[in-house]
């Protein structure tokens, strides 16, 4: 979509992708079942390591936490406020930031400028040194690093960083960890140095 300079809300893309997968596999699913799957998407469970990381962040008043997503404002707020696990941390997040306002998707540079602008109240060159993006998605890490942010890749599969596009852009992640809990710990350690 970014390559075509075309933006459609992530909820529409997700719905269309589900319908495509159903059709491609020659399956049939009632409209009510499709709606049920889409509704479930808005309250996905968190990884256990993410919950531990959020618990640790809740104890650290010196770190501001944000949710940054390709999802729509409605999808992300629904996830955070309706998930039995995440709703316990809804007050921890300083803001829920989505790409909906800029109408581009990660890894487009404008979405990371948008993030920094929200965190900083504006974007200045070289104003990203202490803004960390933590993600399990290599494309997100590569895009954020290219935009000048500090990056931490969550390698839950323990396979190591292998995204060669990162090398073509501006390098791989600054940190590689096995869970969000380790990301919080390592970022706090590095930030104190």
Average pLDDT value for residue range 35-49: 88
Q: Tens of pLDDT along 136-145?
A: 999 999 999 9
Q: Give the whole-angstrom CA distance, residue 115 versus residue 70.
A: 12
Q: Give the whole-angstrom CA distance, residue 1 versus residue 164.
A: 22
- Which residues lie closer than 8 Å to 176 by C-beta, 6 or more apart? 152, 153, 155, 160, 161
Q: Tens of pLDDT along 112-121?
A: 999 999 998 8
- What residue ranges do the domains of the chain occupy? 7-41, 48-192
CA distances from 188 to 53, 119, 132 (A): 11, 18, 11
Q: Tens of pLDDT along 54-112?
A: 999 999 878 899 999 999 999 999 999 988 899 999 999 999 999 999 999 999 999 99
Could you please state the CATH topology (level 3) that the domain comprising 48-192 is classified under.
Answer: Rossmann fold (3.40.50)
């Amino acid at each position: 979509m970014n390559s075509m300079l075309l933006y459609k809300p992530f909820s529409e893309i997700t719905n269309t992708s589900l319908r495509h997968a159903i059709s491609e596999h020659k399956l049939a699913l009632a409209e009510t079942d499709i709606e049920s799957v889409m509704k479930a998407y808005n309250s996905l469970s968190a990884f256990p390591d993410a919950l531990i990381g959020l618990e640790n962040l809740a104890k650290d008043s010196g770190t501001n936490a944000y949710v940054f997503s390709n999802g729509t404002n409605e999808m992300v707020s629904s996830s955070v406020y309706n998930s039995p696990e995440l709703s316990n941390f809804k007050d921890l997040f300083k803001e829920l930031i989505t790409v909906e306002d800029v109408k581009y998707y990660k890894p487009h540079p404008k979405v990371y400028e948008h993030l920094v602008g929200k965190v900083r109240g504006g974007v200045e060159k070289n104003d990203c040194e202490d803004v960390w993006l933590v993600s399990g998605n290599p494309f997100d890490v590569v895009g954020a690093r290219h935009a000048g942010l500090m990056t931490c890749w969550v390698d839950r599969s323990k396979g190591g960083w292998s995204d060669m596009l990162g090398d073509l852009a501006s390098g791989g992640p600054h940190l590689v960890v096995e869970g969000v809990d380790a990301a919080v710990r390592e970022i706090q350690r590095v930030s104190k140095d």
